[in-house]
A and B are shown apart, each in its own frame.
Chain A
Amino acid sequence: MKMEINQAFDKICKDADAHIKRLSLIKGPRISIGMATCGIASGAIDTKKAFEEALKEQGIDGQIQTVGCIGHCYAEPVVIIDHPDSGFPPIFYHHVTPGKAKMIVQSFLIDGDPLFEYLLGATKENELIPQIYDFPRFSQEKRIILQKCGIIDPEDINAYIDEGGYSGLARAFQLAPDEIISEIISSGIRGRGGAGFPTGKKWGFAREAEGQDKIMILNADEGDPGAYMDRTILESNPHQILEGMIICAYAIGAGSAIVYVRSEYPRAIEMISGAISQAEELGLLGNSILGSSFDLKISVFKGSGAFVCGEETALIQSLEGERGMPQHRPPYPVQHGLGNRPTVINNVKTIASVPAILNNGGDWYRSIGTKDSPGTAVFSIVGNVLHAGLVEIPMGVDLKTLIFDICGGIPDKKKFKAVQIGGPSGGCLSSDFLDTPIDFDSLAGAGAMIGSGGMVVLDEDNCMVNIARYFLEFTQNESCGKCTFCRIGTYHLLRILDRITKGQGREGDLEQLKTLSETIIEGSLCGLGKTAPNPVLTSLRYFRDEYEAHVLEKRCPACVCRSLTAFYIDLDKCARGCDACVGSCPVDAIFTTKNRKKGVDQALCVKCGECQVACPPEYNAVIRVSPPEKAPIIEKSVN
């Protein structure tokens, strides 16, 4: 049997290799364009069109290949051009607008000048151009989950197989299901969905659970604001996910599997659905996979975009056609899951790590990262950071290295204020925590959590009370309304925060925020409620002075909260006769003084900040202050 499986897999590999070789024989340059959602949003469709037109106009033979996202969102649209005839290595271009695309075709593909001002680096070692993999944004990463993302064509199964794809599955079929589970247990991998439960243990429970028709569910209901790792992986390398799912299903003895993905991810749905059909065609899915006796059917279920459906019992309710509301656990889904069948629910990143573990062994995986949190973590780092995007690092790297070395630090010479880790369930950590290693337990100890991997970097211009209010507004809107603490408790937290940001904070508000938060954590039914107050508690703990400034002095130290701030124009800086701000004001609050400078009528001003944007940087005369009384009164000219 094992021989037959190997033979079947060898044939698939040979076919894939032949297919890829045929592609590489096509003459001319090969242009790879990052076309995941992030690339498309940044204009990659127009860039692709520009390349197609330019190649046609110039009569150049060449291939245009679409790839997924390489994780460098700050540089989108991203294009890699492999043009061996030029004598240059493959080159990575950033911010390729349609205009740049046409220039690159003219200069590089025809005249042989790679346009050094537009390139980021080379993707191979060479004498001419610095290699991108030497840059800190690349060199300090350790890519297991994202390894092939943005490199291979996600719509071509052969591209994945040619890069070693599905070999983990072939190896898995050489093992007994229990041996696979032991391998996963020995790797020490913990669930990447947030809670960090040991994956091998979960699989083991499901395997031992009594009941027929076990089922495997991929949880791709990613809903944290600012987090998009799962989407990117599904869009950029869906086959790695499928491979992991098949291995999991085989290990636990499931005959069917479901991809639960939110319908707001149309491209991810398209990619994973396409990948399923391709895998079925090659006999990697369906009946007697690779000639073995194992059958598996994978279907795709589109969730309707409720944040709470990422919680596994709510996810199951939603699959059963009910309103997505969490249930009391136990029983856990591994015993009584979908339709009371034993069910394993794993996050996308957990499953994407599985093929590599099978290929390289559990000990290899355990050697990466820290003792209690082995492996790598993928973060989507957004906010006030220079090189935003997806980063995959070994667990244990500290926050400072991640934010300042790998991601280039804070732009515009601003100061770091906080980092919000783990989305609405996570916490805000101050600069005191920059040395904290990133692993499940260290972050939890600081009051935050890895969560699903969203990380928002905040500079000095952010108001922490307002940030906490933002996250509470999110959880309150997304609360399913089932249990008292989450439904009404988070509403009161939000109400108090709202009041504080409007300058109506009262004595005792901060104490009430704290005690109410603690009670909500203790009393709520599900994980959403149990973690919802974390942004309040952590910001209150680490930025109490800001809360106190709001409540006691009616002052917003970061000058963000509208009711607590005012704009005025510094007459020493304002240029006589300049009217830039006047035109920008939507409510005609800006008037001209008698010496033809400008003033703000505080009674009319809605504090939108447009005048500050409009004021030319050489004057920089519009100033925002808090509390509003600090704005000097400027007399209107009397006509």
Chain B
Amino acid sequence: MSKIIVDEQYLEIIEGTNLLQACLENNIYIPNLCYLKERKEKNASCRLCFVEIEGMPKPVTSCTLDVEDGMVVRTDTPAVRRLQRTAFQLLMSVHEVDCAHCPANKKCELQKIARFLKLGLKPKGLDHSLRELETDHDHPFLEYFPHRCVLCGKCIYVCKKRNGRPYLTFAGRGLDTQISFFGDKDPLKLPCAECLACTLICPVAAIIAKTDT
């Protein structure tokens, strides 16, 4: 067991446990969107789970660290909050805030993070602009809403895990990056109707089953 201190709280954690996981399991919330416990190589793409660790010069993402004995962690320093708030506001600056019509309403990770960081859903100081991307209705069983998507990549991971190969992928570059479907358009050859793992894992209802609409 490793003894660590998180926000002045003493914790005993099995050595080698993921730091973000350890905090979450001990009811210390750190905002996160792309973290998946079972995923070995962490995505580290949402840039929300920053913490400060004694002895490290700058805030680091907690999802990419394992617990070490004697670690002293702070999850709420000004530097951490500044990074988290900026990252969250950046995400919201290209997000379609229309919660009343969104199936994720009330269970949405973004709403939870906004409450936690004491931020509104509409970013202050940044222009709000939606990308020139359209809702993808092409898939026989799924619908994709790029203006909701936070590109956490969880859907691609679970799809690959369930089906041996991913039927989803990232497409485009820069701000136009989105999730795209590839593979057969023939519905009979797609495992999606029975699977729907991507719709279940999506934190913001950016991929939903067609029947839901």
Residues of A bordering B, CB below 8 Å: 306, 323, 325, 327-328, 476-485, 487-492, 495, 512, 516, 519, 522-525
Contacts and interface: CB of A to CB of B under 8 A. Distances in A.
Interface stretch (B69-77, B84-92, B114-122, B188-196): B84-92
A478 B174 contact: yes
B44 A491 contact: no
Nearest to B59: A522
B46 interface: yes
Contact of A488 (B44, B83, B94, B172): B94
Interface residues of B, number: 36
Given A482-B170, A484-B48, 17 more contacts: A323-B169, A328-B64, A476-B175, A477-B173, A478-B173, A479-B177, A481-B151, A481-B170, A481-B172, A481-B174, A483-B44, A484-B45, A489-B90, A522-B83, A523-B50, A525-B44, A525-B47
B175 A523 contact: no
Contacts of A484: 45-48, 87, 90-91, 150
B161 interface: no
B58 interface: yes
Contact of A492 (B47, B59, B83, B127): B127
A485 B173 contact: no
Q: Is the interface of A mostly helix, strand, loop or mixed?
A: helix
- Which of B58, B93, B174 is the most central at the interface, judged by chain A CB atoms within 10 Å of its CB? B174
7 pairs of A and B residues whose beta carbons are closest in the complex: A481-B177, A488-B90, A328-B44, A491-B175, A479-B174, A519-B86, A482-B45
Nearest to B175: A491
Contact of A516 (B48, B86, B177): B86
B170 A522 contact: no
A483 B174 contact: no
A277 B175 CA distance: 43
B82 interface: yes
B183 interface: no
Contacts, number: 92
B161 to A, nearest CB: 15
B91 A488 contact: yes
A489 to B, nearest CB: 6
A483 B41 CA distance: 15
Contacts of A485: 47, 86-87, 90
Interface string B38-52: 000111111110100
A522 B90 contact: no
Interface in B165-190: 169-170, 172-177
Given A323-B169, A328-B64, A492-B93, A482 B151 contact: yes
A517 to B, nearest CB: 11
Nearest to B86: A519
Contact of B174 (A328, A491, A522, A524): A491
B129 interface: yes
Contacts of B153: 482
B47 A488 contact: no
A328 B34 CA distance: 13
A483, A488, A525 interface centre (most CB from chain B within 10 Å): A488
